[in-house]
Structure 1
Amino acid sequence: MHYIHRFADLDKKSKILEVGAATGRYSIALAKEGFDVTAVDLVEKNIEILKKNSEGIKNIHPMLGDATKLTDLEDDSFDVTMILGPMYHLYDREDVDKAIDEAIRVTKPGGTIMFAFISVFAFAYANHLDGNWKNGEKENFTEDYKVRHFKEQMFTGYDVTEFEDLFTGKKTEYITTTGVDGFILAMEKSSEFEMSDEDFESLKKWYLAFSEKRELLGSSTHLLYICRKK
C-alpha cells in the first residue's frame, strides 16, 4: 500500500484495476479508501471469496479474468493498474508480453502501472539454503547460470535487469524499480531469527528509505516495476 500511495497519482475519482487480486486484500483496502476498484482474478474460488469479503462495498467490482486477455475491459479505462501476482506464474515469453501489453492497453495515458515480480536470487536464497540448494539451483538456473522459466515451476523469478528489459519498446515511461520486502523472508528462515515490534518498525522505516537502491534490489524476494503509460 505504501508504494501505491507513493507512486500513483491518486484522487477520489481515480479508477484502479488490480489483476491477480486473489481474495482482495489490496482491492478491498483501496475500495474502503473510496476509490473505484475493479478486481480481476483467474481463479473462480478466489472471486467467490472476494465477493463475500467485500459485501456492502459498492465501489468494488470483482471479475473473473485472465491477465493475458482482459477482453471485458476497454482501452484507456484506469488511472492505476496493478499486476501483483500473474508475473510470478507466467513462464512463456509470449504470455508475459501479452500480460504487459494488456495492462498498458487498459490504462489511461499518463496512468501508473505496477508489476510485481520475484528476484530469482532472493528466491533461491530464501527457499534453498535450508538443505535443498542443489534442486533449487537446477530449477532456477541453467548450467551456464542463465535464469530459467518453465511451466513446471510453481513460481518463476527474474534477474532485475532481465525484467526491466521486458519493457523495451513498450508504450511506457520508466518510473522506478523498488524492493518490497527486502531480505526479511530469508531472515525468517533462520531458527534463531527474532525481532521486537519496535525493531521491526525501525527496520521498515529504514528499508522504505532505501528500497529503490540498485545494490539492494536483488536481496528483496518481491519487487515492483513501476511505469507510466505514454
Structure 2
Amino acid sequence: MEFSYLIFRNNIKRGGKVKMNQFLIDFYNNYDEDNRLILKHGSVEFLTTMHYIEKYIRPGDCVLEIGAGTGRYSHTLARQGYSVDAVELVEHNIEIFRQNTQPDENITIRQGNAMDLSGFSDNQYDITLLLGPMYHLYTIEDKHQALKEAIRVTKPGGVIFAAYVISDMCILDEGFNRNNINVEKYIEEGLIDAQTFATKSQPKDLFELVRKENIDDLMSKFSVSRLHYVASNGCTLFMREKIDAMDDKTFELYLKYHFATCEREDLIGFTNNSLDIFRKY
C-alpha cells in the first residue's frame, strides 16, 4: 500500500476501549482505496500480484478474496470470466465494491472477518487471496488463525496469496528519505529496536510491519509448499515521483526490470509490500 504506515499513529486519536476494527473502519471510510492502485507507482503492486496470479489460475477456477477492499482484484478476475467470492470487513468498501460490479460478473461480496470464514466450506476454492488482512493482525494467534482459515477453504493443490507490509523500506522512505517520521524518537519510544531496527507494532497500531523472517516463522506451522516470495513493489514507493513521471515506454521497461528482480534474495527485503505464494498439500 502506498501510504505512510509509520506516521498514522500520530494522525489517529484513539481511546483505550476502542476496538481495532473501528480504527480500520474509520481509516478506510476516509481513504480512497478504490484509486490506490491506479497511479503508475501504485499499479506496480497490482500488476505484480496479477502477474503471479496468472501463473496459477486456470479456466473454470473459483476464487476467494479475503479482505477484498473495493474489489480491484475481484472485479478484474470476474471480468476475465472467473467465479469470485469476496469477503470485506468495512461496509464503506463493500458499498463501492457493489457499485463497481458489472452485470455480467459472476461475483459475490459479503461482510466478514478473515479469522472467521465459517460461512465457507472446506476445500472450496482454487485460488485464495489474502491481500490485506495480514496488514492489520498483530498477535501470532490472530495471524495463524487467518492463515489457517485461508488454507482451510482452499482445495488441495490450490494456491494462496498472502500480502504483508515490510518494515525496512517504510523506515528508509518515511524516516530517512521523506522525514515524515523521526526515527530517533521512534527508537526512544520503543517503536523501533535500537540495535536491529526491527519495528514493534502493537494491537493499538493501525498497520503491522514485519520482516521476511517473521513471515517464515508464521508459515513454519503449516503444511504448505512455498512457490514464490515476492517483493511486490520493490523500491517503487521510495522513488514514486520518478515512477509517476515516466513515459509509458520507460515505465514498461521499469516493470520488466521489476519482474526480473522481484524474487532475488538479495533484494526482497527492499520493498514496502511482499507477497507470499504457497500451495496447499
Residues 197-212 of structure 1 mapped to structure 2, 5 A cutoff: 197-212=248-263
Distance in 2 of aligned mates of 1:57 and 1:127: 42
Unaligned runs of 5+ in 1: none
CA RMSD of aligned residues (A): 1.9
Work out which of the residue numbers 145, 152, 158 in structure 2 matches 1:105. 152
Please report the TM-score for the alignment, with normalisation by the length of structure 1. Answer: 0.92
Q: Are 2:125 and 1:78 equivalent residues in the alignment? A: yes
> Judging changes above 3 Å, is the alpha-carbon distance between structure 1 residues 202 and 189 closer, same or farther for their aligned structure 2 residues?
closer
Q: Deviation at 1:136?
A: 5.1
- Residues 228 and 276 in structure 2, CA contact (< 8 A), matched pair in contact too: yes
Task: Note the alpha carbon deviations across 1:181-219, whole angstroms, 9 max, x for none.
Answer: 1101011268x9843332221111011011100111111
Please report the TM-score for the alignment, with normalisation by the length of structure 2. Answer: 0.76
Residues 1-230 of structure 1 mapped to structure 2, 5 A cutoff: 1-6=50-55, 8=56, 10-129=57-176, 130-131=178-179, 132-134=181-183, 135=185, 137=187, 140-145=191-196, 146-188=198-240, 194-230=245-281
> Judging changes above 3 Å, is the alpha-carbon distance between structure 1 residues 58 and 139 closer, same or farther for their aligned structure 2 residues?
farther
Q: Deviation at 1:126?
A: 2.1
Secondary structure class of the residue paired with 1:116: strand
Unaligned runs of 5+ in 2: 1-49
Task: Note the alpha carbon deviations across 1:170-190, whole angstroms, 9 max, x for none.
Answer: 021111101111101011268
What is the count of residue pairs matched by the alignment? 227
Secondary structure class of the residue paired with 2:123: coil
- Residues 140 and 157 in structure 1, CA contact (< 8 A), matched pair in contact too: no
Distance in 2 of aligned mates of 1:171 and 1:61: 29
Q: Deviation at 1:144?
A: 4.2
> Judging changes above 3 Å, is the alpha-carbon distance between structure 1 residues 136 and 26 closer, same or farther for their aligned structure 2 residues?
farther
Secondary structure class of the residue paired with 1:16: strand
Greater Cα shift, 56-65 or 74-83: 56-65
Between the aligned residues of both structures, percent identity stands at: 34
> Judging changes above 3 Å, is the alpha-carbon distance between structure 1 residues 167 and 56 closer, same or farther for their aligned structure 2 residues?
same
> Judging changes above 3 Å, is the alpha-carbon distance between structure 1 residues 222 and 136 closer, same or farther for their aligned structure 2 residues?
farther
